[in-house]
Amino acid sequence: MMSKRILVLGAGPAGGAVAIGLRRMGYPVTVVSEPRPFDAVEGISARAIEGLRGAGFQRALERVASASPRQVTWNGQTSAANTEHLVVRQRFDAALLEDLSAEGITVIEGRVKRHRFLGERHVIEVEADTEPAALECEFLVEARGRAAPAAGVPRVQGRKTLSLLQYWQGPVGPARSAVQSFAEGWAWLAQCVDGRRYLQLTVDADSTRLPPKQALGDWCRTRLEQLEQAQPFIEGAEPVGEVRARISTPVLCERIAGDNWIRVGDAAMAVDPLSGNGIFQALSSALQAPAVVNTLLQNPEQNGLACQFHEQRIEGLFYRFARIGRDFYAQESQWPDQAFWQKRSHWPDTTPLHSEVTPDKVTTDWRPVVQDGLITQVEVVITPDQPLGIWHLNGLELAPLLRRIRAQHRPVADVLGESLGAERGVQLAHWMLQQGWV
Ligand code: FAD
């Protein structure tokens, strides 16, 4: 058992994944989290399900609905080729805590009130019924999602975005979801098998003139009634409870790790909900974090490398998803004069999502990677599309092979065949050709 105590603040998918990863490395881990203030329904992809399974969330996965159809109406075109899995977050998050307890992680249900750093220790004041008011640890994982304090943290922010959501209750029917764009934004509509509908309108927070709180329900209803995709969700259904607002502005924190702390998930970077990939992103940022924390604790001389690794990966993910979002927003051309669409079809930049890869742009260099639970530096292949580098393909280190190819003026398959055998040599040569490396 490692001796350094680790405290994780927030038990969403990101905090949970880091806690399990660190626990499995042998660290004593405590998680402090409070339930989210109101329930939300979200949709996740098969890829996110795989991520949750890989992170060790068996019980939470049992609360995820099976795949249901998702219709999309965008730029006046409707497609029904997609599916997604609906997740009722409060039930999902409660099961996630069960997964953490089953891993031997101490779970404290309470609200983090205050954080201080005293000498070598973090001191966290927690408001909880049963537990001590102050907890101490040597290492802190900040995973309180968008609620994580960020005063003084340099941040990149996307267009200010707000999602208005309301539950409606209607007849019981099969689960399904739909997306539709409209002049002021876009709607995501979900129906759970118990007949509950979760209807969400996402708008520009600066330019949308919203009415006072008591009139928000009518404001949303008027827009839903005009949306073709919303009809099956609102027919025979009525709103239950008030309209809630969730801030959904994309945010990237530029400092997300130090000698004895790290930020993961939405606390490090939160994406536009249009991607429908927030949970996947949160997991992606969290799955490599245990190796970063392990390095910070075990190999302090590599702290710079470990922080650089975490920051570059989070930044890479953020811009990739921001550009995917930009290109999707740009496909909507019905309301070119509307602020919502103007602001989003050009942010964050004009860099294409994919850059052309040609052999002259492919190089080798040293970059940080995860190896045996630690961040170390190895030689990787760098391409315009993979600036952080590609280390190996199914265990085969690529940089030395590429150098060998370049040193010899012979057919690529022949060079590779010498060390890999003729058949694998031909396969890898074909793969490198497809990638634009040779
Ligand atoms: P969270 O899941 O937010 O977990 C943080 C935890 O910390 C919560 O349990 C919270 O209650 C707790 N906490 C916060 N403050 C404190 C405190 N002071 N003390 C103790 N505990 C605290 N993602 C998708 O994949 N699909 C979607 O359809 C989708 N739709 C979205 C719609 C909207 C409007 C928004 C805003 C986001 C959406 N997301 C969606 C994104 C998704 O919710 C997040 O990306 C994901 O939950 C981030 O995981 P996390 O673990 O970083 O944080």
ipTM over 0.95: yes
- Within this chain, do residues 147 and 24 fall inside the same structural domain, yes or no? yes
- Within this chain, do residues 320 and 412 fall inside the same structural domain, yes or no? no
Using omega within 30 degrees of 0 as the cis cutoff, is the peptide bond preceding 348 cis? yes
d(CA 429, CA 438): 8
Helix (H) or strand (E) holding 186: strand 185-191
- Ligand 1, residues 8, 31, 34, 186: which to mutate, most atoms within 8 A of Cβ? 34
- Within this chain, do residues 192 and 180 fall inside the same structural domain, yes or no? yes
- 143 lies in some domain: yes
Rounded to the nearest angstrom, the distance between the alpha carbon of 111 and the centre of ligand 1 is: 15
- pLDDT at residue 214, as a whole number: 93
The tens digit of pLDDT for each residue in 307-352 reads: 999 999 999 999 999 999 999 999 999 999 999 999 999 999 999 9
- Within this chain, do residues 145 and 255 fall inside the same structural domain, yes or no? yes
CB neighbour class for 171 (10 Å; exposed up to 12, middle 13-18, buried from 19): exposed
- Within this chain, do residues 224 and 260 fall inside the same structural domain, yes or no? no
- pLDDT, averaged across the chain: 96
- Within this chain, do residues 178 and 131 fall inside the same structural domain, yes or no? no
Residue of the nearest CA to atom 40 in ligand 1? Answer: 278
- 40 lies in some domain: yes
- Within this chain, do residues 108 and 27 fall inside the same structural domain, yes or no? yes
| Domain that includes residue 227, residue range | 161-247
- Within this chain, do residues 222 and 173 fall inside the same structural domain, yes or no? yes
- Within this chain, do residues 174 and 260 fall inside the same structural domain, yes or no? no
Residue ending a domain, among 200, 226, 247, is 247
- Within this chain, do residues 371 and 288 fall inside the same structural domain, yes or no? no
- 282 lies in some domain: yes
- Within this chain, do residues 258 and 172 fall inside the same structural domain, yes or no? no
- 392 lies in some domain: yes
- 343 lies in some domain: no
Are the C-beta atoms of residues 367 and 378 closer than 8 Å to each other?
yes
Q: What is the CATH number for 103?
A: 3.50.50.60
- pLDDT at residue 133, as a whole number: 80
- Ligand 1, residues 144, 164, 204, 243: which to mutate, most atoms within 8 A of Cβ? 144
Rounded to the nearest angstrom, the distance between the alpha carbon of 295 and the centre of ligand 1 is: 27
- pLDDT at residue 81, as a whole number: 83
- 29 lies in some domain: yes
The tens digit of pLDDT for each residue in 249-271 reads: 999 999 999 999 999 999 999 99
Alpha helices (H) along 331-421: 339-344, 398-407, 412-420
d(CA 133, CA 128): 7
Low-confidence ranges of the chain (pLDDT < 50): none
Helix (H) or strand (E) holding 199: strand 196-204
- pLDDT at residue 1, as a whole number: 58
- pLDDT at residue 131, as a whole number: 64
Q: What is the CATH number for 188?
A: 3.30.9.100
- HSE-CB of 285 using CA atoms within 13 angstroms: 36
Residue with tokens 């998680």: 31
d(CA 340, CA 347): 12
- 230 lies in some domain: yes
What pTM value is reported for the model?
Answer: 0.96
Residue ending a domain, among 216, 247, 278, is 247
- 36 lies in some domain: yes
- Within this chain, do residues 169 and 143 fall inside the same structural domain, yes or no? no
147 lines ligand 1 (CB under 6 A): yes
> How many structural domains compose the chain?
3
